[in-house]
Amino acid sequence: MAAYGANKGETVELIPGGTLITATPEEGRALAMLMARKSIGAIQPDAEVRKSLRPEYSTSADSLTGAAHVVAIEFATVAAANKYWRK
């Protein structure tokens, strides 16, 4: 199934590792961040364009909050998948 905005014949890995299951909350959080990043990579596949946006959003509190918001939502899914790493 072709990813949103990806060029034909190119495959974008959307879920690094291919699973939502991680050993620890720390790894789950890192996965959540990567998932958000891969979404953006699928919508804007040009790495140069993405790089050019960084100076602005990384120095805007509201843009950073917006990015943290997406990470929080992705993490909610990853955490539920892992039953919150309860022992």
Residues within the interface to a second copy (CB under 8 A)? 1-5, 13-15, 18-21, 24-31, 33-37, 39-40, 42-44, 49, 52-54, 56-77, 79-81, 84-86
- Least gap, CB of 8 to a second copy (angstroms): 14
Q: Which is nearer to a second copy, 7 or 15 (CB)?
A: 15
Q: Sign of the C-alpha dihedral, residues 83, 17, 30, 72?
A: negative
Closest distance of CB 47 from a second copy, Å: 13
Residue 10: other Cβ atoms inside 10 A: 9
**Cα–Cα distance measured from residue 34 to residue 20, given in angstroms and rounded to the nearest whole number:** 12
Helix (H, G, I), strand (E, B) or coil at 11: coil
